[in-house]
């Protein structure tokens, strides 16, 4: 039997996702109309013999997470449980801490995946690849090709081209190492815990030798210091070149979802995939309905005027109201928002229950990868560059009101703001 573990992080993480992560934990943010995590859960549930999905993170159990888990369990007929870490233990520490839960029932292998990746999740292919490469207990990393410059922002993998064995692994190198990057999706056998256990023991010994080093960061919590283990730096780097670690390269879609701008890009990738996987989720041009151009997801409860024009790459949440002559492109409109007549929304995320007045224009700058480079990935831009706000998509937090006939350009508006004029290139606190 198989299991899957999804690492969902916690409230201190996802800071680049603010102000959207104030309202909902980042892994539950809707991408292409469904919570980010649902894409993972759906693909895991399709794998034959998959018995359980475990979510590991350090969010306090909350209503949204519980509701998501209940509805996903019913929809996909699979057990889903949340295991809460007592602190951020890193990608390896979390799974080591809960190793008994992962190994209960005796799975022969299990997937580990980060919640903030958008992917086609080629899980059956990884299983077949594992059977064909190395001995039965080999581990598989999902890899993809990036361009030379961007590869340095990810974990880089040097492979043996005949056997696909990982010879060398470096996390975010300072110079070019390889254009094959780590996708944050792994297939492990229970043997991985011996390797993580060895790092844990070494950390414990180091603590006995150097009891006070670095204690100011961990408030004297030595146990936490020993248990905080990173799969990438602590495990993969050591395993590379030992005949245990292999890379399965996928040409399919893949992107990280670090910032709000990358959520719009991920939404585009997933909407495009819906042609194959969920054609029923894509809106079509119907008599008496709005004009649809390209891929658009519309929740059945949304109320949209037939003179509105939507798309490409638009997803519209529950109970959204869109007035006459509204134009929406490359945007995510979250539940309960209202776009009044003739407003124009481009490259933007409109927060929950926000209102955009008549003839207002809310526009951002897309942070898309270079369309002429097949291996380009989205850049996780920093918020500021040279002391200035980097132009990016416009984000309205929840319950923001934009008055009629103003322009909001490349700005981030925090929740519960009533604006009374136009703004550009600003964070409105």
Distance CA 285, CA 272 (A): 17
Per-residue model confidence as pLDDT tens for the chain (429 residues): 999 999 998 887 657 788 888 888 899 999 999 999 999 999 999 999 999 999 999 998 889 999 999 999 999 999 999 999 888 888 888 999 999 999 999 999 999 999 999 999 999 999 999 988 867 778 999 999 998 888 888 899 999 999 999 999 999 999 999 999 999 999 999 999 999 999 988 888 887 877 665 544 444 455 567 788 888 888 899 888 888 899 999 999 999 888 888 899 999 999 999 999 999 999 999 998 999 999 999 999 999 999 999 989 999 999 999 999 999 999 999 999 999 999 999 999 999 999 999 999 999 998 888 788 788 888 766 777 777 777 888 999 999 999 999 999 999 999 999 999 999 999 998
CATH topology assigned to domain 2-256: Spore Coat Polysaccharide Biosynthesis Protein SpsA; Chain A (3.90.550)
pTM beyond 0.85? yes
Joined together, the tokens standing for residue 120 give: 């086609």
DSSP 8-state assignment for residue 418: B
Q: Which two tokens stand for residue 109?
A: 């292998």
Its CATH class, for the domain covering 286-424, is mainly beta
What 3-state class would DSSP assign to 8?
strand
Cite the residue boundaries of each domain of the chain with CATH code 2.160.10.10: 286-424
DSSP string, 84-151: E-SS--HHHHHHHHTHHHHHTT--SEEEEEETTEEE---HHHHHHHHHHSSSTT-EEEEEEE--HHHH
Nearest to 105 by CA among 55, 56, 50: 50
Q: Which residue has the tokens 């959207």?
A: 20
In 228-377, where does DSSP find H-type helix? 237-239, 260-277
Pinpoint the residues of the chain covered by CATH 3.90.550.10. Answer: 2-256
């Amino acid at each position: 039997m198989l299991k899957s573990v999804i690492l969902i992080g916690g409230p201190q993480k996802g800071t680049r996702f603010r102000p959207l992560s104030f309202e909902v934990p980042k892994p539950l943010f809707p991408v292409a109309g469904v919570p980010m995590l649902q894409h993972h859960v759906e693909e895991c549930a399709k794998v034959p013999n998959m018995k359980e999905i475990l979510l590991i993170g350090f969010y306090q159990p909350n209503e949204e997470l519980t509701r998501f888990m209940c509805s996903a369990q019913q929809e996909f007929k699979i057990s889903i449980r949340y295991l809460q870490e007592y602190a951020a233990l890193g990608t390896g520490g979390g799974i080591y801490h809960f190793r008994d839960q992962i190994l209960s029932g005796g799975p022969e292998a299990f997937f580990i995946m980060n919640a903030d990746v958008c992917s086609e999740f080629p899980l059956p292919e990884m299983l077949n690849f594992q059977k064909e490469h190395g001995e039965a207990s080999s581990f598989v990393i999902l890899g993809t090709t990036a361009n030379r410059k961007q590869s340095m922002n990810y974990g880089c993998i040097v492979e043996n081209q005949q056997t696909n064995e990982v010879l060398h692994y470096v996390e975010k190198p300072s110079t070019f190492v390889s254009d094959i990057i780590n996708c944050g999706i792994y297939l492990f056998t229970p043997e991985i815990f011996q390797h993580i256990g060895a790092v844990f023991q070494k950390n414990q010994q180091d603590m006995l030798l150097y009891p006070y080093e670095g204690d100011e960061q961990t408030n004297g919590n030595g146990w936490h210091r020993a248990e905080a283990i990173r799969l990438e730096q602590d495990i993969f780097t050591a395993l590379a070149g030992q005949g245990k670690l292999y890379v399965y390269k996928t040409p399919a879609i893949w992107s990280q979802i670090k910032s709000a701008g990358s959520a719009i890009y991920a939404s585009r990738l997933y909407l495009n995939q819906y042609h194959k996987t969920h054609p029923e989720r894509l809106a079509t041009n119907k008599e008496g309905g709005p004009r649809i151009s390209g891929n658009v997801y519309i929740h059945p409860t949304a109320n949209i005027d037939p003179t509105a024009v939507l798309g490409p790459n638009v997803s519209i949440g529950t109970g959204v109201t869109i007035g006459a002559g509204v134009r929406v492109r490359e945007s995510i409109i979250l539940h309960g928002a209202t776009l009044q007549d003739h407003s124009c929304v481009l490259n933007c995320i409109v927060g929950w229950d926000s209102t955009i007045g008549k003839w207002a224009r809310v526009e951002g700058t897309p942070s898309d990868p270079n369309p002429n480079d097949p291996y380009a990935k989205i850049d996780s831009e920093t918020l500021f560059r040279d002391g200035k706000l980097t132009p990016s998509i416009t984000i309205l937090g929840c319950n923001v009101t934009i008055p009629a006939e103003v322009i909001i350009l490349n700005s981030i508006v925090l929740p519960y703001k009533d604006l009374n004029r136009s703004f550009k290139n600003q964070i409105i606190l």
